[in-house]
Amino acid sequence: MAVKVLVVDDSGFFRRRVTEILAGDPQIQVVGTATNGKEAIEQTQALRPDVITMDYEMPVMDGISAVKQIMQRCPTPVLMFSSLTYEGARVSLDALDAGAADYLPKNFEDISRNPDKVRQLLCERVHALARTNRRSLGIAPATVSAPSVSSRPLTGSASAPRSSEPPAPRSSSPAPRKRSYKLVAIGTSTGGPVALQKVLTQLPASFPAPLVLIQHMPAAFTKAFAERLDKLCRISVKEAEDGDILRPGLALLAPGGKQMMVDGRGAIRILPGDERLNYKPCVDVTFGSAAKAFGDKVLAVVLTGMGADGREGARMLKQAGSSVWAQDEASCVIYGMPMAVAKANLADGIYSLDDIGRYLAEIG
C-alpha cells in the first residue's frame, strides 16, 4: 500500500512543490494539505496519514504547537522543515522534543538547483518514517501502511530496513559487568537528539570517562545541539574543535559536515568531510580512530538511526577488545544502526534507552 502523506505549510509554493515531488513516487499518496497548525490537527484526525510534513512558521498555530497536539491526539510520524540557520536548529530541536520524528532543512535554492536530489531525499525520508518504530510514538503497528519498496542511502541518513528481513535480536542482555574505560563513544542518527538527551542527562558530573558523540546532523545544527545538551546535563558538552583534549566528564560532539577522530594522546582531530563518505560526521570514522588509539579501553554505544553507520567501526573496536552496546528495537525510533551491529554479532549488550543511561552512569 502507498504511504499516505499530509503536507502542512502556509506557503502555497512550498505546498505545491512538496506535493508534486511526493506525487511523483508511485508508492506515496498525498491525501491532503493544510495551511496552518490548526488545520493540520483537524486533517490528521480526519485523514489518518502515515507521515506528516510540517512547516514551523505558520499563522493561527505554529508547527511545534501542532506537533504537540498531534502526538497527544493522534500520534503520527512528523517530518519537520526548518531553515539552515541557528534559529532553524533551535526550532528543529524543539520540534524533536515535542515529538517530531525527523527534520529536513527547508532550502528553496536546492529545490530550484537540485530538484532530483531534493526529490530523492524527501521521498526516501518519507518512506523511512513510514517504517518508524510505532511504539516509540505510541502508535499501534497495524495503523501504518508500509511502502513496498526499499530506499537507497541518502545524505546524512539511510533507508530503514525492509520488513521482510529476519527478526531482529531481542533485548535480553544481562547487565554489563562494571569496568573502567578511557573513552565512551556514542553514535546515532534519526531519533538521536532525543535519545542522546535522555542518556546523557542520567550521567553524574563526576562521570569518570571522556565521551565523544557522533550525531548525523547538518553543520548549522551541531553547535546549537551541543549548547542545549550542556544546559540540560550535569556533564559538560561542547561542539568539538580541532585540538580539543579528552577529559572525564566532557562530551565532545562531532561538528556537522566534518569528520572527528581521536588520537592516542587524547586529542581531537577535526577533518574536512570526505565527499566519498555518505555521512559527515561518520560514526565508523570516529569508532575506527578510537580503536586504533585506545585498543580495548573503549565503550562504544550505537543508538537509534537509519542505515548501518557504526557497524564497521564497532567491528574494529571488537577486534581490539573493546565493548559495544546497542539500543534495543523497542526503544528506537528507527531500528537500523543498532540492528546492523546486533545482527553482525558485535554487540556485547542490547539494552533499552533507559538502561543504557543507567548502566553508563554506573561504569567504573
Q: Which of 82, 189, 322, 331 is catalytic?
A: 189
Q: Are 163 and 146 contacting, i.e. CB atoms less than 8 angstroms apart? A: yes
Burial of residue 255 (number of CB atoms within 10 Å: 0-12, 13-18, 19+): buried
Q: Which of 25, 55, 244, 309 is catalytic?
A: 309
Separation of alpha carbons 94 and 64, rounded Å:
7
Using alpha carbons, list the distances in angstroms from residue 212 to 75, 117, 253, 287: 33, 31, 6, 10
Please say if 189 is a catalytic residue: yes
Q: Which of 216, 284, 289, 328 is catalytic?
A: 216
Separation of alpha carbons 159 and 128, rounded Å:
6
Please say if 309 is a catalytic residue: yes
Burial of residue 278 (number of CB atoms within 10 Å: 0-12, 13-18, 19+): middle
Please say if 9 is a catalytic residue: no
**Hey, which residues are catalytic here?**
189, 216, 309
